[in-house]
Amino acid sequence: MKTLILLRHAKSSWKHPELDDFDRPLNKRGLHDAPVMGRRLAQHEALPDRCLSSPAVRAAATVMAVAEALGYPVDAIAWEPRIYEATSATLLDIVRQQPDNIEHILLVGHNPGLTDFANALTGDTLDNLPTAAAYTLTLPIEHWRDAAFGSGTRNAYEYPKDRN
């Protein structure tokens, strides 16, 4: 059994329209929500063996805050450029390439890809994963290469506004 947490980056700032989308930082709410979600994951003992993240500024800031709250070493975060603007198919490919000694992955990325991926893996019909939402699912597999759409089971779904 493998566990996957899909975490959308926290709320980003639109204050600097001159910045490329990739370079947008977190806003005040995002800076608050990212560690909050990390602490919630820690309460559930949702401690990943591997953190994979988009290198976009807002995703990087989110995963670093979450990792710190989880006690996960920030220097062990795996930066995966394909997560930025990824489709469900690309995200599945990334997951399938993970080593089998990893049991629990935290994947930090962006919409619409993460929402589509969560729905495709589990058959859920979520309209949108809100910013800083954590969607945890299990896959009944021994090898990541066997991950498939429709094979996951949602275990948890929470986001900062669901209980402040």
Residue 75 has phi, psi (to 5 degrees) of -75, -5
124 vs 44: CA distance, rounded Å: 22
At 20-62, the pLDDT tens digits run 999 999 999 999 999 999 999 999 876 899 999 999 999 999 9
Does the pTM surpass 0.85? The reply is yes
Two tokens at 71?
């006690």
Per cent of the chain over pLDDT 70 is 98
Can you read off the two tokens belonging to residue 89? 């198919």
Q: In sequence order, what are the residues at sequence separation of 6 or more whose Cβ sits closer than 8 angstroms to the Cβ of residue 43?
A: none
pLDDT tens-place string over residues 52-88: 999 999 999 999 999 999 999 999 999 999 999 999 9
CATH code for the structural domain at 2-137+153-162: 3.40.50.1240
Dihedral over alpha carbons 36, 48, 135, 52 (to 10 degrees): 100
pLDDT computed for residue 164 by the predictor: 45
pLDDT band at 163 (very low <50, low <70, confident <90, very high): low
